[in-house]
Structure 1
């Protein structure tokens, strides 16, 4: 078992971030920040398939685990992400136990799954296929994202699926799906998230959640979550630039300059 998957399933507190800027330089900058892992966002960012591999390679250089949020449930997308050398996948919009089972099957080689064998980067371009096959099933992290009203209703069945390592809450889509948008829906959303976290932990899975700001990490950690994706490279870039500009303006104001 890889060190990263071991940390995940043992519920060690891990804080990562989404990598949405489609360039290895951005990945290297994020990798040097001290994050525990990166999640390349193939679902929402404008990232090509070949760039996925380049971004995973950039994370590998700095020995930061990289997983990929795939665009959907297609086994081909999951295989492409894993063949690139990613240490796991985050599968979005998982709303039923059958979808969770399909994600596991697509991520594991037979006899426990249906992943196809290929000479990709993960397998040393064909030179280390046997070695990779021997350890891949124990090393790949399978995370499924629960973010719909249907997923909330089926959370007990999803959490019971063997082979799922992490059940990850997507608060944004979940809030829309259960009509809990904005301040008025905050309590309803919090209750839904608590229900997902409780069911996840009760079934022996690791609970994860997206956190837009650092303060959210402590809030959900108190309920048992341990796998956190904090913002994204684009969000952190914008926040850092805004904070820097505000500080510069304040300095200019104190010096009397306009």
Structure 2
């Protein structure tokens, strides 16, 4: 039986991310704990439960967070709605952090940073799984939560590129994710001059690295030139595909092996 690799506790994820430690994760689209448990047992650093583009509910997110805790992997959620309630429920239910789509203005960045933190912020007081069900004094809970909650802003809009230096300077945002798919769509819809996707990504990466914060991105294959390109840009929180993508690529590889195995000689 393969032993579960020994790693730092999931609550150290923010500290590791801010230190720009190289971390590997993936998106989880299927609303169960199974992929999270498997990835944790293999030694992945984090999973991003994708509420924005997959059928996660608050109840299934709770199961996902429980699986992450059981297998010593940081469980984060890409929230579907960028509002205070969505951030509050995710953190109270046990998320180590949140990733927020379409952070295209300084005001939005300040809001999500505020909604995610107690001290100096506007997060409502709660003691669910994220607060060990009241197992710590409230002041200790506030301090520990603020120290460990990770806030990642997705940069995926043309408007964000135009004010990126101000956005990355917002206190309380720990990392920025290069949302290259939606960024490409946004740039293609520009009515005036606009940078290419590669140019925009370079602008964002330079601003984030200069700010001292962490840079995150997703690639479809860690053996690809794209993965190397992301590392060269300064990405340290690198995600590979998703549970769907990993299942599809693994299943396709086995299907091809099968076809070769039974192919008439």
Instruction: State TM-score, norm by structure 2.
Output: 0.89
Are 2:192 and 1:192 aligned?
Answer: no
- Equivalence for 2:12: 3
Structure 1 distance, partners of 2:123, 2:108, is: 15
- Equivalence for 1:101: 110
Which of 234, 238, 250 pairs up with 2:260? 250
User: Which sits farther off after the overlay, 207-216 or 188-197?
Assistant: 207-216
- Equivalence for 1:140: 149
Which of 211, 214, 226 pairs up with 2:236? 226
- Equivalence for 2:159: 150
Q: How does 1:20-59 map to 2 (within 5 A)?
A: 20-59=29-68
Structure 2 distance, partners of 1:212, 1:150, is: 26
Structure 2 distance, partners of 1:9, 1:26, is: 26
**CA deviation map 1:91-112 (0-9, x unaligned):** 11100011011010011003x2
Q: How much does 1:2 deviate?
A: 4.1
Q: How much does 1:170 deviate?
A: 0.7
Q: SS state of the match for residue 32, structure 1?
A: helix
Are 2:233 and 1:212 aligned?
Answer: no
Structure 1 distance, partners of 2:213, 2:26, is: 21
Structure 2 residues without counterparts, runs of 5 or longer: 1-9, 190-194
Contact 2:105 2:160 in 1 (8 A): yes
Contact 2:11 2:74 in 1 (8 A): no
Q: SS state of the match for residue 130, structure 2?
A: helix
Structure 1 distance, partners of 2:143, 2:211, is: 27
Q: SS state of the match for residue 27, structure 2?
A: strand
Contact 2:82 2:101 in 1 (8 A): yes
Q: How much does 1:86 deviate?
A: 1.0
Instruction: State TM-score, norm by structure 1.
Output: 0.92
RMSD of aligned Cα (Å): 1.6
Which of 141, 166, 172 pairs up with 1:163? 172
**CA deviation map 1:188-232 (0-9, x unaligned):** 211111110001111111111121222222211112111112110
Structure 1 distance, partners of 2:86, 2:115, is: 9
- Equivalence for 2:186: 177
Structure 1 residues without counterparts, runs of 5 or longer: 181-186
